[in-house]
Each structure stands twice: as structure tokens, then as C-alpha cells.
């Protein structure tokens, strides 16, 4: 239940976002989401990107496997150049391998020297490929631990895999070199009694929970900034929607005015026959300039008030006055 609870905490956010995105895509494909709703979803995704780039709300763990890698990194300062044993090639082991690879890529460093140990070699090879690791048989685990700095364990074993009797001779031969173990097994892979073995530091799901909660506390500090960004974007979206609502009427008004301008130029064509091409263009430019200045204020007022009761009154008046 502890593991399930932690998984729900660290995955909840991404799952909800994924479900919302899926719902929108389905609604769009089935024609149930119109242009305004689709525009709202697109804007929301843009806001999410802005929030994550301008705040720390998205930093920290997003999966249980990432939390394990993050916890080990936090304790050691860095995993770069460390010798790391990944015990177990199930879903959790595969996730930790992927997170180790992603962490190495993000840091642009060399990353840890990883060894994958599992009872199922085929699965171990698949996991090892994710992080460029070496694969060893489970019988070779003691030799791998003899030179390791970190052990990340996540087997599906129903019983303890390593206990004091296994680690005591290994640690005795390491000349006081410490070994950090992160036990992700449920039930436990590592006997808690190994904490009594000199040089061993054992972290389990309780430590992981504290690590995740500390990360969530850091995220909560960013909530105020996130809300400010969201408020800004809500106003920007409303303004954009209002402007789009006014756009057809503004276009119709300008088209009507330009039609009248062109009609008048055509009516006076005979009187303008004595003008050369340059003079004709000057007259056309003059008429365009007069219309642009005349329509500027009505256009601004329509856009500023669009979406409000005042905007509706102005729109009705313009439609009535210009027969649009």
C-alpha cells in the first residue's frame, strides 16, 4: 500500500494531464470540440509549457523509479563516475535504467558505470540496453557488489534477497568503502538488519516517501507564481477571444467602406483621366488613408469592448448604421 500510495502521488499529475489531453483529442476527432474549445485547450498547453519553463513547479520526481534515482543522487551528491548495480529487470528496474540514462543526458556528464543483475538474462539485456550497462548473472552479484558504490534493488522476489550474512564478507573486503542501497522491493529485497553491517547505508520506501514529500513542498512554494502566470494567460486568452469575435464585424465594416471608396473612384474616372499613373496612385493612397483614419477609432472600440454588453451594443449599432 505504501508503494501504491507513493506511485499515485508522483504519477497523479501526469496521469490527469494525459487523460485531459486524450479527452480533448477524442472530442476533436469526433467533431465535439469546436474552434473555441480547441483553442482553449491549445492555449492551456502553451500555458503549461510557460509555467514549467518559468517556475520550478515541474521539477522533481514524476515516477517512483525517478524518485529512487533522485534519492541516490541526493545522498551521494552525484552518480557521475560511480559504480552502480541495478538488481532486478522488471518494470521498476527498466524505469530506473531509463531514468539513469535521462539523468546522464540531462547533466551532459559521463554518468554512472552500471551493471544489471537479474535471474532472467533476457530481461536484463533489455534493461541494460537503456543505459549502456553490463549484464551479469545473479551468481555474480557478490563480485559486482564488491566494487559498487550504489545498489538499486527492485526484484519481484517474495523473500529477502540480501541479508547481513551476504553483505558482511563483501563489506569486510572493501576496506571501509561505503555502499549505498536503495531498496524498492515490495516486499523488501534487503533485510533491514544489514544496517548493522559497517559501511552499509540502507534506504527504503520510508526514505523515499520523505524524499518525495520534500520535493512536493518545493513545488508548493511555486504555486503563487504559477497562479500569477495563469491569471495573466486567462486575461490574454479572453482578450484574444474577444478580438476574434470582433474581427468579422471589423472586416465587414472595412470591406464595405473600401467598396464605397472604389465605387466613388470609378464614378469619377472620367474626371481623373488627365492624371498620370503616379497621380492616380496618389489619389488612391489618399482615399485609403482617409478611410483608415476614419475607421481607426470604431475598430479600436469594437475590439476593446468585444465580449461585453457594451461591445454588443456597439456591434448592433454599427451593423444597423452601415447595413452590415
CB 100 within 8 Å of CB 120: no
Query: Cell 474552434 identifies what position?
Result: 35
Residue 198, pLDDT score = 93
Calpha distance 129→101 (Å, rounded)? 10
CB 296 within 8 Å of CB 257: no
Residue 7, pLDDT score = 45
Residue 145: which H helix or E strand, with range? Answer: helix 141-145
Give me the tens of pLDDT residue by residue for the chain, a chain 324 residues long: 444 544 444 444 555 566 777 887 888 788 877 766 777 777 887 888 888 788 877 666 657 888 889 899 989 999 998 999 999 988 888 989 988 888 777 666 678 999 999 988 889 999 999 888 999 998 999 999 999 999 999 998 899 999 999 999 999 988 778 999 999 988 899 999 999 999 999 999 888 888 888 777 777 888 888 888 888 888 888 777 777 767 787 888 888 888 888 888 888 888 888 888 888 889 888 988 998 898 888 888 877 777 677 777 887 887 888 887
Calpha distance 151→202 (Å, rounded)? 9
CB 324 within 8 Å of CB 249: yes
CB 301 within 8 Å of CB 314: yes
Calpha distance 181→151 (Å, rounded)? 5
pTM for the whole structure? 0.59
Residue 1, pLDDT score = 46
Residue 171, pLDDT score = 94
Amino acid at each position: 500500500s505504501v508503494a501504491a500510495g507513493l506511485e499515485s502521488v508522483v504519477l497523479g499529475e501526469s496521469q490527469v494531464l494525459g487523460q485531459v489531453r486524450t479527452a480533448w483529442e477524442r472530442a476533436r476527432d469526433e467533431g465535439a470540440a469546436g474552434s473555441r474549445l480547441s483553442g482553449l485547450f491549445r492555449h492551456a498547453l502553451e500555458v503549461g509549457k510557460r509555467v514549467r519553463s518559468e517556475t520550478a513547479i515541474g521539477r522533481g520526481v514524476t515516477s517512483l523509479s525517478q524518485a529512487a534515482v533522485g534519492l541516490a543522487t541526493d545522498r551521494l551528491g552525484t552518480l557521475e563516475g560511480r559504480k552502480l548495480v541495478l538488481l532486478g529487470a522488471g518494470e521498476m528496474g527498466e524505469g530506473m535504467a531509463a531514468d539513469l540514462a535521462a539523468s546522464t543526458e540531462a547533466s551532459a556528464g559521463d554518468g554512472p558505470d552500471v551493471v544489471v543483475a537479474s535471474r532472467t538474462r533476457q530481461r536484463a539485456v533489455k534493461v541494460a540496453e537503456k543505459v549502456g550497462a553490463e549484464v551479469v548473472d545473479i551468481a555474480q552479484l557478490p563480485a559486482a557488489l564488491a566494487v559498487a558504490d550504489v545498489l538499486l534493488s527492485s526484484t519481484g522476489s517474495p523473500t529477502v534477497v540480501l541479508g547481513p550474512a551476504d553483505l558482511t564478507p563483501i563489506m569486510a573486503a572493501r576496506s571501509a568503502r561505503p555502499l549505498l542501497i536503495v531498496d524498492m522491493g515490495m516486499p523488501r529485497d534487503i533485510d533491514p538488519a544489514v544496517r548493522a553491517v559497517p559501511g552499509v547505508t540502507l534506504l527504503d520506501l520510508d526514505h523515499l516517501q520523505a524524499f518525495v514529500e520534500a520535493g512536493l513542498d518545493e513545488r508548493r512554494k511555486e504555486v503563487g507564481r504559477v497562479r500569477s502566470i495563469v491569471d495573466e494567460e486567462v486575461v490574454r486568452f479572453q482578450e484574444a477571444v474577444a478580438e476574434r469575435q470582433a474581427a468579422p464585424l471589423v472586416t465587414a465594416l472595412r470591406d464595405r467602406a473600401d467598396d464605397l471608396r472604389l465605387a466613388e473612384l470609378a464614378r469619377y474616372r472620367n474626371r481623373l483621366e488627365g492624371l498620370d499613373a503616379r497621380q492616380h496612385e496618389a489619389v488612391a493612397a489618399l482615399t485609403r488613408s482617409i478611410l483608415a483614419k476614419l475607421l481607426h477609432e470604431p475598430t479600436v472600440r469594437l475590439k476593446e469592448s468585444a465580449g461585453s454588453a457594451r461591445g454588443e451594443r456597439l456591434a448592433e449599432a454599427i451593423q444597423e448604421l452601415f447595413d452590415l
